[in-house]
Amino acid sequence: MSKETLIKSIREIPNFPIPGILFYDVTTLFKDPVALQELSDTLYEMYKDKGITKVVGIESRGFIMGPILATRLGAGFIPIRKPGKLPAETIEVSYDKEYGQDTVQMHKDAVNEDDIILLHDDLLATGGTMEAACKLVKQMNPKKVYVNFIIELKSLHGKDIFSKEVEVESVLSL
């Protein structure tokens, strides 16, 4: 299966979650076992030699490939969630996104200074959510932070908001 085939299998939903937004639905990649395996293999190959100790997935679609990738890399998985969803003591960052303001949280003890982190989410648009997640993780002073997306919307230049020490990659570019 090629990257072009993966791109063709993504469902586009206009005017979701608000009018004027074209939503790229990756659940169509996940329901096809061949596409899911291809995506898993591609992500693994991208990060297998980076020494990743924890994969951090952003609610909610980062919770799908994040644990799969963590298992393949022999790493732990850490969820970043919306407020009120995590049971222990948390840290948080608020941010503006394309269609409103939001806050993300993670457990205060989830990451330590010996960790090499891979932050994962499904889509890079303007980058606000991942930038907030990156700030959240960096509060814990890990050794290194990598950022990964399944899809990057290149025309929105979301990569531009990340500092140079953060390596940002995506599997697919649209």
Q: Which positions are catalytic?
A: 61, 98
Nearest to 76 by CA among 57, 102, 103: 57
Three-state secondary structure of the chain: CCHHHHHHCCEEEECCCCCCCEEEECHHHHHCHHHHHHHHHHHHHHHCCCCCCEEEEECCCHHHHHHHHHHHHCCEEEEEECCCCCCCCEEEEEEEECCEEEEEEEECCCCCCCCEEEEEEEEECCCHHHHHHHHHHHCCCCCEEEEEEEEECHHHCHHHHCCCCCEEEEEEEC
Q: How would you classify residue 51: left for phi > 0, otherwise alpha for psi between -120 and 50, otherwise beta?
A: left
